[in-house]
Amino acid sequence: MGEKMHIEAGERHAAGGVGPVEVATTTSKALRGIIYHNLTIRMLKGLPLTALLKNK
């Protein structure tokens, strides 16, 4: 999911629609959101990372 957003942001930048700072900000926000989401699930379920990955 995050990878797809990054690729789309890169394509817009190549077309001149978005500046490099905006691309970096969008990418870091997406990555941060994914990290926080995974940590929240782990804290709620109390599962190790391997169990979390198997459940997806």
Structure tokens at 12: 């817009």
Cβ neighbours of 9 (radius 10 Å): 20
Segment 41-55 shows an average pLDDT of 68
The 8-class DSSP code of residue 16 comes to T
Domain ranges of the chain: 2-55
How far apart (Å, rounded) are the C-alpha atoms in residues 29 and 13?
Answer: 17
What confidence tier does 44 reach under pLDDT thresholds 50, 70, 90?
confident
Q: What is the pLDDT of residues 3-42, one digit of tens each?
A: 565 556 555 555 555 677 787 888 888 888 888 888 887 7
How far apart (Å, rounded) are the C-alpha atoms in residues 4 and 8?
Answer: 6
